[in-house]
Every structure is written in C-alpha cells, then in structure tokens.
Amino acid sequence: MQPRPLRTTVIGSYPFPGWLEYASQHLEAFGQDDIAEMQDDAVVCAVHDQIDSGLDVITDGEQTRFDFNLSFYGYLDGIELESRTPRQFGPPAHDQRGKHGITDELRAPRGLGAVEEFERLKRLAPTGPTLKASIPGPYTLSGRLLPNSQYKDRYAVTEALLPFVRDELAALVAAGCTEVTVDEPSMSCYAHREDRRRFVDIFNRTVESIVGKCRLSTHLCFGNFKGHAVGLRQYAPMFPDFLEFHVDEIHVEMASREYSELAIIQQIAQKRDVAVGVIDVKSYYIETVEDIAARVHECLQHAPADRLSFAPDCGLSQTARWAAKQKLANMVAGVQRVREELGV
Ligand SMILES: [Zn+2]
C-alpha cells in the first residue's frame, strides 16, 4: 500500500542547469574542491525545484553523474573507456552511445557511488519529502560493456555486475535510505524478445539484500536517450511475469503512449502498488492541472487510491528545465485537486 494515497513521485534524473553542462565540459579548469562545491550546488538546484512543485518524494536529480568518472562505470575497475562513438553524425539515437571494453576482472572496490549521492542529498534536502535513491540494475549496466573471452555474453557481464549492485543497495539502506528504485530499462525494452523468467530471477537476486528493509520500486521504461525511445513500447509482453519482481511498486510510462494499455494497472494493482507516468517527458506540450486530474480519475477506475502514485513517464534529464518545472508543478496540483475531491 502507498504511504499516502495518490502519492506524487519522480523517477530519478532532473535536467542539469546550463552552467553545470558548461562546467562539465571544462572540468580541467576546476580543482577538486571546486568540483565538490559544484556538485552540492547542482543538487541544491534540483532539490529546490522539486520542493517548489510540492512532490511527496524527491531525488538528487542525478545531478552529480555529469562526468564519466562520477558515473557508475567510473567506479568499475577492469574496463577501458570507449573513446569514440561508432556513429558521429546524423540524428541522435542509442547507437551513438559508445561501449566500454573489458580489459581485466571486473571489480568495484569503492562501491558504485550511490551511497555518497544519498549522503549528499540527506545533507542538503529539507525535512519533509521522502528522499529516494535510484540505481540501475546489472542487466541494464551490462549493456554498455563489450563481452570478451572472460565474460562471454551479456548475461555473463550481468552476473559479474550483480554483486556490486546488490552490495550498493545494502549500503544505501544501511545509510538510512528508506526508498529505492532499481531501474532496469533494458529489461522492459527487451522483454518482448528475451527470457522474462530469467530477467525476474536476475532482478530478484539483485534486490535480495534489501527486500522488506525499505520501500522498493522499479521503473519499466522504453528508453529516453536524448528524448528517444528504443524498445517496443508495449507492456503486454512483460506481464504477468514481471509481477514476480520483489518490489513494492512498479512504474509504467503512460503519457507518451496516450494511455494505451492503461488497463494493465489493474493487473499490477492486484499484487503491487503502481506508479503511473502522467507527464510526457518527450513533449513540450505542458500537461495542465485539468489534464492531470482527468487522468487520475481515469486511473482510479482501474486501481484504488492507496495503490496509486503519479510520476513523469521517465527521468526528466532530457527535458528542458523550464518545462520540467511547469510539468511537475501541474502534476502535483492536478493530483492534489483529486485528493481534495475525494477527501484523501
Ligand atoms: Zn525511463
């Protein structure tokens, strides 16, 4: 059950302020202390915007993952950074993301950095909203590493990464994190063609260290690289198998798909809480308060209020900040309007 009926939440990422993007391209000009200050300042911006919108749950906006060395791959030993993406020109798409080579045994001696991110968020956020951490799962992380003779295929790489994620999740909860999202967008994108039972097994072994110790969710996404999807945008192939994920809440993106398959939330709500994406992060149409309230009512025809939460379709990192702010504010106001109507 939701901690609050018709809860408002976010997926994880938030747009970088322009100055942060500029600075991240000129990091050589900054010292260690400058960068630490910049990381704090960026999180303050993301926290401010989210607090302003009135959300029940906020994140650090993944503001500090602006550099390879600050991303999950930067924490891995045994890989070499891919220097050049295979396609340099043409419209932006997933094939322009480089893959990293594996050169040695994969190790993560310093963890994956999510605990430091959470500690920073705790230090900078005001009391009130729930602080959520999100971390990609091992199958998704494996997608940007090239298998080799030691790790023969994507599943072998996944198995090597799984304990790193599992340990990081345990450390997050030990650090006081009460709400965690494990993102496996590669599982939702490829569910139609891969072994879904195998995905469920991988997912459940990843989260076994924290099940029952925090509020745990996952986000079933179809991709958002520079605002583009990559998967077959259908939920039908995932269910009922994905109901076996050991999570409290499953998030589905509905706004960008014009609420196609909305009835699937009924099936999810019989077993799990369901977070419905009501903000299209890829469109510059700003959903109005009335739009949101109408969608909340529509969702209530399929699932009870204490099973439902509302969020953008995906992280907001690929949406301009002015639009992200307006969209979040309208989402919260629309949900609040329905709460008042229903007296919840
Ligand atoms: Zn997503």
| Residue ranges per structural domain of the chain | 7-83+92-342
Nearest C-alpha neighbor of 5 from the set 320, 207, 303: 303
Nearest C-alpha neighbor of 259 from the set 310, 305, 197: 310
Task: Give the tens place of pLDDT for each residue, 318-342.
Answer: 999 999 999 999 999 999 999 999 9
Per-residue pLDDT at 278: 98
Per-residue pLDDT at 80: 93
Class of CATH domain 7-83+92-342 = alpha beta
Q: How far is the CA of 88 from the centre of ligand 1 (A)?
A: 24
Mean pLDDT by 10 residues, the chain (344 residues): 97 96 96 97 98 98 89 95 84 89 97 97 97 97 95 98 98 98 96 97 97 98 92 95 98 97 98 98 98 98 98 97 98 98 96
Q: How far is the CA of 94 from the centre of ligand 1 (A)?
A: 14
Q: How far is the CA of 217 from the centre of ligand 1 (A)?
A: 13
Q: How far is the CA of 302 from the centre of ligand 1 (A)?
A: 23
Residues 145, 99: contact at Cβ < 8 Å? yes
Q: How far is the CA of 253 from the centre of ligand 1 (A)?
A: 8
Q: How far is the CA of 141 from the centre of ligand 1 (A)?
A: 14
Q: How far is the CA of 316 from the centre of ligand 1 (A)?
A: 9
Per-residue pLDDT at 269: 98
Q: How far is the CA of 314 from the centre of ligand 1 (A)?
A: 4
Q: How far is the CA of 324 from the centre of ligand 1 (A)?
A: 15
